[in-house]
């Protein structure tokens, strides 16, 4: 089978196991030890899952939910469901029981894969109100081995059942795979719901494969590449690398032991491609900056000199100007004497491309990493576009844009500035929501809800979410994300929410970076007991005020932050304040901190 004959993701897996059965498909770290899984082993596990589900009565077009951290079982489960021509539905591990109930119930899922006892408890809590649910399959049975419930089944028992069915009905699995059609729905991905209840975006095999083909031309991913998996697997951004491109390019996916070991695991793996959300890149940036500030005089000045050279070198590349020979030589010296060692310590020594997606990233962060020899490409897309519409490639990179549209795409800007898109990755619609689908696909174009502009060379610049744009009382338009990204460039600020719609001036709610501000407090002998008390310390407020003033000096007067308040707690997914990819839910924040916001405008309006 060649690539042109592939119509579904399970068929893509079948092709890969035919051409490279013994290559490493994935690795999983468990108790500090990495375990290899070949493509043949991957295929056999998927077959057992599929045949086990077949024995449980799962039929084509049935929906099956999955909740768990990133690990091989997640992909075995999803691919097993799709092999039966079923539809997998991801659930975030951070979702409380009520949100799990909504997704499982709304999607009408018949089976629910759960990682462990914690997730199983959520499934139990919602099963009385999810009448379609027939079986709960648990990957890790620790704490549940003596739990007796007819709805519960261990993943190991499902695999045994699948192996038995495969022995009794040889060739059935392959026949079902071959019957799959490219126009069939592969998954339902529930949007993060930053502006309301989540909607289930239906993604077809055709959508996944179209994105894989288009992305291959730009990223040039191959079997030689290594990626690391740690972002939520039910988010379309992670699926680009662990599902779409994995089935298409055949590279190796490495699963981290847990979310706390990502940095150590990164050093173990040394991936060739690294994809992350802006929060991760911001964390790396602040870590490097503060580490250098604490370094010896010699190391600190060596880095500063190397960074100055790197910045000049990078500016020439961005401007597409010839690089003078002396600057080229100076950069090579800076790279191998300073940046190379830094990249090795970070685990970035083999990274040929870094990617940032799922939210806007500060231009300053991009310039910083570009200058130290870690090229980051910003991409743009939504769940409804199967994750991607635009991406910057290695040769044609323009700062401040998200690159050009994928080959075969059509893009235009509506009269109100909204970005409209057509391409083969546009979703099939929202599950059970025809009116929302019609509105999103009005006139045959997908309406992104984002405002932007396209330059003469076809590069797309994102201004902000259409609903998030601030119009001040004076009628001036302000894009909050731009200001927030400038604030988050500070190593002392983790989150920021800019406010000012229909107000006389701009204000901000700010969340300090606990690790870096704690260190600052210790270095300056500032007394505090808790995170909340730290935010109230006069010296900390002054520190953040200085950071805000730095941002104000970079932006127009109408955009200046007149007042700010430090929040006395971090923003959490579990509290409904941010999405699992760390995008702020403005509506929730505005409601939760209404009194704090009003206090900043008291007597001024």
Domain borders along the chain are: 3-272, 470-601
Interhelix angle 480-488/363-371, rounded to 10 degrees, is 40
Q: What is the pLDDT of residue 193?
A: 59
DSSP states along 112-170: EEESSHHHHHHHHHHGGG-TT--EEEES--TTTTT---TTEEEHHHHHHHHHHHHHHST
Confidence category of residue 605, pLDDT binned at 50, 70, 90: low
Confidence category of residue 96, pLDDT binned at 50, 70, 90: confident
CATH of domain 470-601: 3.30.300.30
DSSP E strand boundaries for 432-588: 446-454, 460-465, 470-471, 477-478, 493-499, 506-512, 561-566
Confidence category of residue 396, pLDDT binned at 50, 70, 90: confident
Question: Which residue, among 223, 225, 209, 217, has the nearest Cα to 354 in the 3D structure?
Answer: 225
Q: What is the pLDDT of residue 129?
A: 93
- 269 C-beta neighbours (distance < 10 Å), count: 20
Whether the domain at 3-272 and the domain at 470-601 fall into the same CATH topology: no
Helix (H, G, I), strand (E, B) or coil at 375: coil
Cross-strand bridge partners of residue 512: 493
CA distance 513 to 488: 9
pLDDT tens figures, 112-125: 999 999 999 999 99
pTM (two decimals)? 0.89
Classify domain 3-272 at the CATH class level: alpha beta
Token pair, residue 258, equals: 């847990």
pLDDT average, residue stretch 281-286? 93
Confidence category of residue 477, pLDDT binned at 50, 70, 90: confident
8 A C-beta contact, residue 543 and residue 520: yes
Helix (H, G, I), strand (E, B) or coil at 383: helix
């Amino acid at each position: 089978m060649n690539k042109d004959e592939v119509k579904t993701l399970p068929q893509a897996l079948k092709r890969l196991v035919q051409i490279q059965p013994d290559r490493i498909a994935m690795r999983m770290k468990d108790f500090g030890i990495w375990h290899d899984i070949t493509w043949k082993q991957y295929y056999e596990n998927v077959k057992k899952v599929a045949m086990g589900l077949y024995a449980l009565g799962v039929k084509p077009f049935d929906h099956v939910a999955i909740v768990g951290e990133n690990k091989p079982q997640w992909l075995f489960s999803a691919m097993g469901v799709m092999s039966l021509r079923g539809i997998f539905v991801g659930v975030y591990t951070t979702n409380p029981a009520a949100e799990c109930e909504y997704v499982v119930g709304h999607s009408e899922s018949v089976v629910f894969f759960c990682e462990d006892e914690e997730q199983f408890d959520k499934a139990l809590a919602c099963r009385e109100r999810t009448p379609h649910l027939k079986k709960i399959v648990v990957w890790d049975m620790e704490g549940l081995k003596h739990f007796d419930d007819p709805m519960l089944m261990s993943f190991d028992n499902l695999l045994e059942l699948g192996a038995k069915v495969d022995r009794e009905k040889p060739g059935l699995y392959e026949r079902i795979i071959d019957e799959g059609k490219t126009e069939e729905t592969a998954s339902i991905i529930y949007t993060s719901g930053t502006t309301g209840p989540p909607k289930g975006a239906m993604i077809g095999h055709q959508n996944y494969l179209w994105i894989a083909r288009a992305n291959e031309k730009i990223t040039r991913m191959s079997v030689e590449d290594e990626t690391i998996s740690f972002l939520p697997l039910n988010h379309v951004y992670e699926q680009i690398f662990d599902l779409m491109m994995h089935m298409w390019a055949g590279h190796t996916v490495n699963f981290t032991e847990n979310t706390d070991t990502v940095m150590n695991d990164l050093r173990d793996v040394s991936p060739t491609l690294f994809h992350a959300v802006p929060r991760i890149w911001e964390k790396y940036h602040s870590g490097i900056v503060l580490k250098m500030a604490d370094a010896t005089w010699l190391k600190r000045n060596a880095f500063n000199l190397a960074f100055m050279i790197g910045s000049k070198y990078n500016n020439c590349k961005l401007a597409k100007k010839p690089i003078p020979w002396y600057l080229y030589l100076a950069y090579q010296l800076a790279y191998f004497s300073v940046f190379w060692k830094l990249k090795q310590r970070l685990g970035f020594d083999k990274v040929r491309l870094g990617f940032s997606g799922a939210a806007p990233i500060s231009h300053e962060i991009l310039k910083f990493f570009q200058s130290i020899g870690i090229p980051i490409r910003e991409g743009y897309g939504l769940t409804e576009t199967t994750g991607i519409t635009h991406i910057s490639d290695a040769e044609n990179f323009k700062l401040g844009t998200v690159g050009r549209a994928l080959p075969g795409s059509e893009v235009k800007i509506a009269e109100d500035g909204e970005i409209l898109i057509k391409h083969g990755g546009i979703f099939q619609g929202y599950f059970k929501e025809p009116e929302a689908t019609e509105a999103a696909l009005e006139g045959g174009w997908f309406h992104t809800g984002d405002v932007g502009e396209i330059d003469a060379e076809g590069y797309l610049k994102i201004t902000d979410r259409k609903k998030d744009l601030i119009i001040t009382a004076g009628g001036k338009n302000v894009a909050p994300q731009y200001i927030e990204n400038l604030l988050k460039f500070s190593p002392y600020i983790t989150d920021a929410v800019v406010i000012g719609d229909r107000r006389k001036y701009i204000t901000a709610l700010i969340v300090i970076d606990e690790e870096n501000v704690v260190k600052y407090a210790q270095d300056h002998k500032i007394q505090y007991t808790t995170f909340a008390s730290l935010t109230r310390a006069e010296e900390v407020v002054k520190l953040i005020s200085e950071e805000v003033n730095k941002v104000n000096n970079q932006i127009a007067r109408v955009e200046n932050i007149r007042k700010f308040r430090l929040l006395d707690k971090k923003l959490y997914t579990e509290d409904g304040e941010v999405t699992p990819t760390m995008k702020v839910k403005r509506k929730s924040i505005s409601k939760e901190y209404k009194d704090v916001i009003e206090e900043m405008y008291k007597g001024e309006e």
